[in-house]
Each structure stands twice: as structure tokens, then as C-alpha cells.
Amino acid sequence: MIRRMFLAAAALALAAMPVRAQTTDAAAGDKVKELETAWGAAMVRGEWATIEKMLAPEFIGTDGAGKRYTKMEYLTMMRTGGMTFSELQAGAENVVVSGNTAVHMGEGTMMVKMPDGTSSRMHTVWTDTWVKGKNGKWLCVAGQWVDHPAT
């Protein structure tokens, strides 16, 4: 009887593993990738409202110079900074999911037009942390990025 219980427990554990991987981690990873893709597309279109919805109220962003941005400051910079983005090419990405936390490590190359009219092609590497709320919605709580001119 005990042995049968062990076998049953083992069978349950084996059956549960792929379910968790498929329905939790893999699905969460895909969702976060989808959100990151939407973020990039929104930047190109200048749809800051879309990005605003993805950011947690306590969002903190950090750029390659080490400057910190609150959610408000980040959105203000995007809305009024006079920069435009185009020709976005997403690069390698990896998502690590741990419970309700997902870390997206991504990179992309895009043309950035500055307020003075000059343009340059930049390669950006970032680490974004997403947290799933009780309503099942993923929000970005932090992001740090670094950009260098693309060769």
C-alpha cells in the first residue's frame, strides 16, 4: 500500500512538472516576450499610453549613464524628449520566470532621431523585471538598459 502511494505520488509529481512548466513558466515567458515586443512597437509608433499601461506605479528605470527615472519621469522623457525611434530590430532575448517574477533580458537595434535632427543607430541591452499582480496582469517594476552606437 505504501509503495503504491509512493508510486502514485511520483506519478503525480511527474505529471505536474510539465503542467507547471507549460502553464506557468512557459506561458509567463511567452506573455512577457509579447509585452516586450509591444513595448518596442509602441516606442516606434509613439504610443506612450500603451507603455504607461505596462509600467507598475513604482517603476524605476535606469539608463546607461546611471540616471534613474520614476514612471512619471520616464514617460515624460519619452513624450516630450523629442526623440523618435524607427527600424527596430529585436535581438536575442531570454526570460527567467520565478513564481510571479519574470526577468526579461533582451536587446535590440534601432534608429534614434534626436531633437536636433541628428540620427544614429543604437544597440540597446536591457534587463526588465516584471511582476504578476493578483489580477493576473504583468507589470514592469524595473528596467535598466545600456546603449551603444551600433557598428
Partner 1 sequence: MVRRMLIAAVAVTLFAMPVRAQSDRVAVEKIKENEAQWGAAMVRQDWARIEQMMAPEFTATDGAGKRTDRAAYLDMLKTGGMSFSGLQMGPEQVIVNGSTAIHAGEATMTVKMPDGTSGKYHVVWTDTWVKDKDGNWLCLASQAVEHPVS
Residues contributing to the site for partner 1 (CB under 8 A): 56, 58, 60, 62, 64-66, 68, 94, 96, 98-101, 103, 105, 107, 123, 125-127, 129, 131, 141-146, 148
Q: In the complex, what is the shortest distance from the CB of residue 66 to partner 1, in angstroms, rounded to a whole number?
A: 3
Q: In the complex, what is the shortest distance from the CB of residue 64 to partner 1, in angstroms, rounded to a whole number?
A: 6
Question: What is the full DSSP assignment across the chain?
Answer: -HHHHHHHHHHHHHHHHHHHIIIIIIHHHHHHHHHHHHHHHHHHHT-HHHHHHHEEEEEEEE-TT--EEEHHHHHHHHHHS--EEEEEEEEEEEEEEETTEEEEEEEEEEEEE-TTS-EEEEEEEEEEEEEE-TTS-EEEEEEEEEEEE--
By beta-carbon proximity to partner 1, the closer residue of 99 and 115 is 99
Q: In the complex, what is the shortest distance from the CB of residue 91 to partner 1, in angstroms, rounded to a whole number?
A: 10
By beta-carbon proximity to partner 1, the closer residue of 85 and 138 is 138
Q: In the complex, what is the shortest distance from the CB of residue 45 to partner 1, in angstroms, rounded to a whole number?
A: 25
By beta-carbon proximity to partner 1, the closer residue of 46 and 64 is 64
By beta-carbon proximity to partner 1, the closer residue of 52 and 63 is 63
